[in-house]
Amino acid sequence: MVSFAKYTIIDWIAFIQVLLIWFYMAYRSGQWIVSVACSNGWRWWNRKNKKKRWPWLRFTKHSILTVFSLVLSL
């Protein structure tokens, strides 16, 4: 604590102000990144060519149903 004794109240106020500005800028940039990601994801999710969205889904769905029917037949 001796090392902090040389700082005055003005130094601490300036330090807190810098911290507040930094946290505000980090919050706003994170908010912007999330909004861009959500808007791009929303446009991708609602696009017209739904067959190209997940080309592997039909195969996976068929495989799961086949395995499930084989398990039930045991």
pLDDT in tens, 10-68: 999 999 999 999 999 999 999 999 888 888 777 776 666 655 656 555 566 567 777 77
Measured torsion, CA atoms of residues 57, 59, 60, 63, in degrees rounded to the nearest 10: 160
- pLDDT for the residue 29: 94
Taking the C-alpha atoms of residue 14 and residue 51, their distance in angstroms, rounded to an integer, is: 57
